[in-house]
Structure 1
Amino acid sequence: MAYDGTIEVNDFGRGISKEEIDRITEPFYRIDRSRNKKNGGVGLGLALVKRIADAHNIRLVIESELGIGTTVLLSFPDVDN
Protein backbone atom coordinates (compact mmCIF):
# COMPACT_ATOMS: atom_id res chain seq x y z
CA MET A 1 0.00 0.00 0.00
CA ALA A 2 1.29 3.46 -0.88
CA TYR A 3 1.13 6.17 1.75
CA ASP A 4 0.41 9.81 0.95
CA GLY A 5 1.27 11.65 4.15
CA THR A 6 2.57 11.14 7.66
CA ILE A 7 2.04 12.83 11.00
CA GLU A 8 4.90 12.45 13.46
CA VAL A 9 4.63 13.23 17.17
CA ASN A 10 7.79 13.22 19.31
CA ASP A 11 8.05 13.11 23.08
CA PHE A 12 11.38 13.56 24.84
CA GLY A 13 10.24 12.01 28.12
CA ARG A 14 11.40 8.85 29.86
CA GLY A 15 10.58 6.49 26.99
CA ILE A 16 8.63 3.23 26.93
CA SER A 17 10.01 -0.31 27.18
CA LYS A 18 9.52 -2.75 24.28
CA GLU A 19 7.21 -4.91 26.41
CA GLU A 20 4.98 -1.94 27.18
CA ILE A 21 4.93 -0.65 23.58
CA ASP A 22 3.40 -4.01 22.65
CA ARG A 23 0.56 -3.33 25.13
CA ILE A 24 -0.10 0.43 25.10
CA THR A 25 -2.81 0.19 22.43
CA GLU A 26 -4.82 -2.24 24.59
CA PRO A 27 -7.94 -0.65 26.11
CA PHE A 28 -7.42 0.51 29.72
CA TYR A 29 -3.70 -0.30 29.74
CA ARG A 30 -1.62 2.34 31.51
CA ILE A 31 2.14 2.27 31.88
CA ASP A 32 2.07 4.17 35.16
CA ARG A 33 -0.40 2.23 37.28
CA SER A 34 -0.09 4.77 40.10
CA ARG A 35 -1.97 7.39 38.05
CA ASN A 36 -5.61 7.89 38.89
CA LYS A 37 -8.45 9.81 37.24
CA LYS A 38 -7.32 12.96 39.02
CA ASN A 39 -3.77 12.77 37.66
CA GLY A 40 -4.16 11.08 34.29
CA GLY A 41 -6.25 9.23 31.76
CA VAL A 42 -7.99 5.89 31.87
CA GLY A 43 -5.94 4.18 29.17
CA LEU A 44 -8.25 4.60 26.19
CA GLY A 45 -6.47 7.22 24.06
CA LEU A 46 -4.08 5.00 22.12
CA ALA A 47 -6.62 2.16 22.00
CA LEU A 48 -9.01 4.51 20.19
CA VAL A 49 -6.25 5.78 17.89
CA LYS A 50 -5.40 2.18 16.93
CA ARG A 51 -9.02 1.25 16.20
CA ILE A 52 -9.58 4.36 14.07
CA ALA A 53 -6.26 3.82 12.27
CA ASP A 54 -7.11 0.18 11.55
CA ALA A 55 -10.58 1.11 10.26
CA HIS A 56 -9.10 3.61 7.78
CA ASN A 57 -5.96 1.67 6.74
CA ILE A 58 -3.75 4.20 8.52
CA ARG A 59 -0.41 2.78 9.59
CA LEU A 60 0.37 3.40 13.28
CA VAL A 61 3.99 2.98 14.37
CA ILE A 62 5.20 3.62 17.91
CA GLU A 63 8.95 3.69 18.54
CA SER A 64 10.60 4.42 21.87
CA GLU A 65 13.87 4.23 23.71
CA LEU A 66 14.13 4.35 27.49
CA GLY A 67 15.69 7.59 28.66
CA ILE A 68 15.38 9.15 25.19
CA GLY A 69 11.68 9.47 24.33
CA THR A 70 8.92 8.22 22.05
CA THR A 71 7.87 8.80 18.46
CA VAL A 72 4.40 8.04 17.12
CA LEU A 73 3.88 7.95 13.35
CA LEU A 74 0.54 7.92 11.55
CA SER A 75 0.90 7.25 7.81
CA PHE A 76 -2.18 7.90 5.68
CA PRO A 77 -2.94 5.82 2.59
CA ASP A 78 -2.85 7.34 -0.88
CA VAL A 79 -6.56 7.48 -1.75
CA ASP A 80 -5.91 8.09 -5.45
CA ASN A 81 -4.48 4.59 -5.98
Structure 2
Amino acid sequence: MERDEFIDALKREGFAEVVTVMRDPNGTLDDHAHPFEAKALVLHGELTIRTAAAENLYKTGDVFHLQANESHSERFGPDGVQYLVGRK
Protein backbone atom coordinates (compact mmCIF):
# COMPACT_ATOMS: atom_id res chain seq x y z
CA MET A 1 0.00 0.00 0.00
CA GLU A 2 1.25 3.49 -0.82
CA ARG A 3 1.64 6.21 1.83
CA ASP A 4 -1.08 8.58 0.53
CA GLU A 5 -3.54 5.72 0.01
CA PHE A 6 -2.85 4.56 3.59
CA ILE A 7 -3.40 8.05 5.03
CA ASP A 8 -6.73 8.34 3.17
CA ALA A 9 -7.80 4.93 4.51
CA LEU A 10 -6.86 5.95 8.07
CA LYS A 11 -8.98 9.10 7.81
CA ARG A 12 -11.97 7.11 6.51
CA GLU A 13 -11.58 4.71 9.46
CA GLY A 14 -11.54 7.56 12.01
CA PHE A 15 -7.83 7.68 12.83
CA ALA A 16 -7.46 11.42 13.46
CA GLU A 17 -3.84 11.40 14.68
CA VAL A 18 -1.17 10.25 12.20
CA VAL A 19 2.53 10.24 13.14
CA THR A 20 5.78 8.79 11.84
CA VAL A 21 7.75 6.58 14.24
CA MET A 22 11.42 5.66 13.85
CA ARG A 23 13.18 2.96 15.89
CA ASP A 24 16.88 2.12 16.08
CA PRO A 25 18.42 -1.01 14.55
CA ASN A 26 18.18 -4.20 16.61
CA GLY A 27 16.24 -2.45 19.38
CA THR A 28 13.45 -3.91 21.46
CA LEU A 29 10.48 -2.79 23.53
CA ASP A 30 9.34 -5.16 26.26
CA ASP A 31 5.68 -5.99 26.89
CA HIS A 32 3.57 -2.84 26.98
CA ALA A 33 0.18 -1.55 25.84
CA HIS A 34 -1.14 1.75 24.47
CA PRO A 35 -4.39 3.44 25.51
CA PHE A 36 -5.20 3.92 21.81
CA GLU A 37 -5.89 1.71 18.78
CA ALA A 38 -2.99 1.79 16.30
CA LYS A 39 -2.82 0.95 12.61
CA ALA A 40 0.53 1.36 10.87
CA LEU A 41 2.23 1.08 7.49
CA VAL A 42 5.91 0.06 7.54
CA LEU A 43 7.78 2.60 5.41
CA HIS A 44 11.29 1.19 5.82
CA GLY A 45 12.93 -1.71 7.62
CA GLU A 46 11.19 -4.38 9.63
CA LEU A 47 9.82 -5.20 13.04
CA THR A 48 8.44 -8.22 14.83
CA ILE A 49 5.43 -7.77 17.08
CA ARG A 50 4.50 -10.42 19.62
CA THR A 51 1.01 -10.47 21.17
CA ALA A 52 -0.70 -13.12 23.27
CA ALA A 53 -2.11 -14.58 20.04
CA ALA A 54 0.92 -14.61 17.72
CA GLU A 55 4.32 -13.32 16.67
CA ASN A 56 4.44 -11.59 13.27
CA LEU A 57 7.20 -10.06 11.16
CA TYR A 58 6.30 -6.88 9.27
CA LYS A 59 8.43 -5.48 6.43
CA THR A 60 8.32 -2.45 4.15
CA GLY A 61 4.81 -2.13 2.71
CA ASP A 62 3.13 -4.27 5.38
CA VAL A 63 0.34 -2.99 7.62
CA PHE A 64 -0.14 -3.95 11.26
CA HIS A 65 -3.04 -3.23 13.59
CA LEU A 66 -3.14 -3.26 17.40
CA GLN A 67 -6.22 -2.75 19.52
CA ALA A 68 -6.24 -0.27 22.41
CA ASN A 69 -4.70 -1.80 25.55
CA GLU A 70 -3.43 -4.85 23.63
CA SER A 71 -0.26 -6.07 25.34
CA HIS A 72 2.63 -6.60 22.93
CA SER A 73 6.42 -6.51 22.57
CA GLU A 74 8.45 -5.24 19.63
CA ARG A 75 11.79 -6.20 18.09
CA PHE A 76 13.34 -4.05 15.34
CA GLY A 77 15.36 -5.33 12.39
CA PRO A 78 19.02 -4.73 11.53
CA ASP A 79 18.14 -1.52 9.64
CA GLY A 80 15.71 -0.33 12.31
CA VAL A 81 12.18 0.53 11.27
CA GLN A 82 10.18 3.56 10.24
CA TYR A 83 6.39 3.41 10.14
CA LEU A 84 3.44 5.71 9.66
CA VAL A 85 0.83 5.11 12.37
CA GLY A 86 -2.73 6.26 12.87
CA ARG A 87 -4.01 6.41 16.44
CA LYS A 88 -7.53 6.60 17.81
Output the TM-score relative to the length of structure 1: 0.33
Q: Which has the higher strand share?
A: 2
Output the TM-score relative to the length of structure 2: 0.32
Question: Larger Cα Rg: Structure 1 or Structure 2?
Answer: 1
